[in-house]
A and B are shown apart, each in its own frame.
Chain A
Amino acid sequence: MANGIVTLTTGTFDETINGSTTAVVVDFWAEWCGPCKMIAPILAEIATEQPGITIAKLNVDDNPEIAMRHNVMSIPTLIVFKDGQVAKRLVGAKGKGQLLQELSEFLPTSH
């Protein structure tokens, strides 16, 4: 899988979540959300450094039905999907160290 963040839309969401062999972290965000902007560069770094996990983002302004379906009421919200199922939900912005720790169970072990 190519490094970088995958941009999801209502049209591609299900296909990406269900078709992925790795866990998919979806960042629910919007242009007007300050804390979302703060974690964006951190997620970009994680996407580059951790090829064993897929990082995706979904703009809640443009795709409100997906946000509603997953009961997103606060952004940034990160939802981790594994085999198409919700495996974890993180609400609010966090630093890189804390994010990596929260995501550690989804990172493939290198040994």
Chain B
Amino acid sequence: MSHHHVLIIGSGPAGLTSAIYTARANLSPLVIEGEPSSTSDQPGGQLMLTTEVENFPGFPEGIMGPELMMRMREQATRFGAEFLTEKVTRVDFSARPFRVWVREQEYTADSVIVSTGAQSLMLGLDGEKRLLGHGLSTCATCDGFFFRGHQIAVVGGGDSAVEEASFLTKFAEKVYLVVRRHELRASKIMQERAQSNPKIEILWNTVVDELVGTDALEGIVLRDTVSDQTRSLPVTGLFIAIGHRPNTDLFTGILDMEESGYLVTRPGSSYTNVEGVFACGDVQDHTYRQAITAAGSGCMAAIDCERWLESQHS
């Protein structure tokens, strides 16, 4: 069993920024960074599955998502943050020191910063599990390559859906963007890019009702949400970008959360309902969800945590 002043769960921009700040405050944080996966809850967070990040200040030419995360991690390491490439399996915040487990291994801490982020939502359709990796994908940057010359679809209307659709036109012959509403939620610049791209066709007021194919995706059944009419579209690839759900299963019944699962923090701060436990990044933010806002809230959590620890000793 090992004891730490600060234990940080998660290692996206929020977790790593809080690691940089608490490490520089000589609090020697332990970051339990998560385990590799392809569903956006891996070490480094959602940016590990993206390509070019164009809106993170300080990188006028843009920077690759994984590269940005690697640099943040190096910066935290430089000031003495420790990393553990494991996934937390259980927590007990009912008494101090707080207790955190990775399977049988127990860690204790005076304070905890929760930055577990969010992961891709799935469609919840039959055959989804079976077809994942066989035409169905949650990672355009990983799998786009395999659809050279194919007709494919992206489902979703936000920034990540539009970004994926644009990226996929590098490989695919045609990309249908399946949008549930009559408008895109994506930022103006992304919308313009999608609408001016001749390979992208936007299907408005449309949802995916069914996946067709046994061993590999052969097509999808679409439904028009206005007329309720269905039709099939023969695509060999379907990329899902319909949003995220917070990774908060670990904290059910322990930390206050909204019905949607997002952690509740005291307005203007990173304080959760448990004194000494702080939350930052997408796990508590369903409004902004940007790398820079996550990093900013990670900084807030580090400062809140540092001040709280000081107040405990005075």
Residues of A within 8 A of B (CB): 30, 32-39, 42, 60-61, 67, 71-77, 91-98
Q: What 1/0 mask marks residues of chain B from 21 to 62 whose CB sits below 8 Å from any chain A CB? A: 000000000000001111100111000110100000000000
Q: Determine if A35 and B49 form an interchain contact, defined as CB atoms under 8 angstroms apart.
A: yes
Partner of B87, one of A33, A60, A95: A95
Write 29 A-B pairs (CB below 8 A) sorted by A numbering: A32-B141, A32-B145, A33-B142, A34-B42, A34-B66, A34-B142, A35-B48, A35-B139, A38-B42, A38-B43, A38-B44, A73-B134, A73-B135, A73-B143, A73-B146, A73-B216, A74-B137, A74-B143, A74-B146, A76-B38, A76-B142, A91-B38, A92-B133, A93-B37, A94-B36, A95-B85, A95-B86, A95-B87, A97-B103
CB closest chain-B residue, reference A39: B36
Residues on A with C-beta less than 8 A from B43 are 38
| Interface-central residue, B35, B65, B85, by most chain A CB under 10 Å | B35
CA distance A31 to B24 in the complex (A): 33
Residues of B within 8 A of A (CB): 35-39, 42-44, 48-49, 51, 65-66, 85-87, 103, 132-135, 137, 139, 141-143, 145-147, 216, 237
CA distance A38 to B42 in the complex (A): 9
CA distance A81 to B36 in the complex (A): 23
Main secondary structure of the interface of B (DSSP, over half): loop
Q: Determine if B133 and A94 form an interchain contact, defined as CB atoms under 8 angstroms apart.
A: no
Return the 3 tightest CB-CB contacts between A and B, nearest first.
A95-B35, A91-B133, A92-B38
Rounded to whole Å, the gap between the CB of A27 and the closest CB of chain B is 12
Partner of B145, one of A30, A34, A42, A96: A30
Residues on A with C-beta less than 8 A from B85 are 95-96
CB closest chain-A residue, reference B69: A34
Q: Determine if A75 and B49 form an interchain contact, defined as CB atoms under 8 angstroms apart.
A: no
Q: Determine if A34 and B48 form an interchain contact, defined as CB atoms under 8 angstroms apart.
A: yes
Residues on B with C-beta less than 8 A from A42 are 36
Q: Determine if A35 and B216 form an interchain contact, defined as CB atoms under 8 angstroms apart.
A: no
Q: Determine if A34 and B141 form an interchain contact, defined as CB atoms under 8 angstroms apart.
A: yes
| Interface-central residue, B44, B49, B145, by most chain A CB under 10 Å | B145
CA distance A97 to B133 in the complex (A): 21
Partner of B35, one of A33, A72, A94: A94
Residues on B with C-beta less than 8 A from A98 are 35
Q: Determine if B66 and A93 form an interchain contact, defined as CB atoms under 8 angstroms apart.
A: no
CA distance A80 to B133 in the complex (A): 16
CB closest chain-A residue, reference B142: A33
CB closest chain-B residue, reference A90: B133
Residues on B with C-beta less than 8 A from A93 are 36-38, 42
CA distance A30 to B103 in the complex (A): 32
Residues on B with C-beta less than 8 A from A92 are 37-39, 132-133
CB closest chain-B residue, reference A36: B142
Q: Determine if B145 and A60 form an interchain contact, defined as CB atoms under 8 angstroms apart.
A: yes
| Interface-central residue, A39, A91, A93, by most chain B CB under 10 Å | A93
CA distance A36 to B141 in the complex (A): 11
CA distance A33 to B216 in the complex (A): 21
Rounded to whole Å, the gap between the CB of B257 and the closest CB of chain A is 25
- Assess A34 versus B37: contact at CB under 8 Å? Given A73-B134, A74-B133, A75-B143: no
CA distance A32 to B143 in the complex (A): 10
Partner of A61, one of B39, B44, B65, B145: B145
| Interface-central residue, A33, A61, A92, A97, by most chain B CB under 10 Å | A92
CB closest chain-A residue, reference B150: A73
Rounded to whole Å, the gap between the CB of B169 and the closest CB of chain A is 16
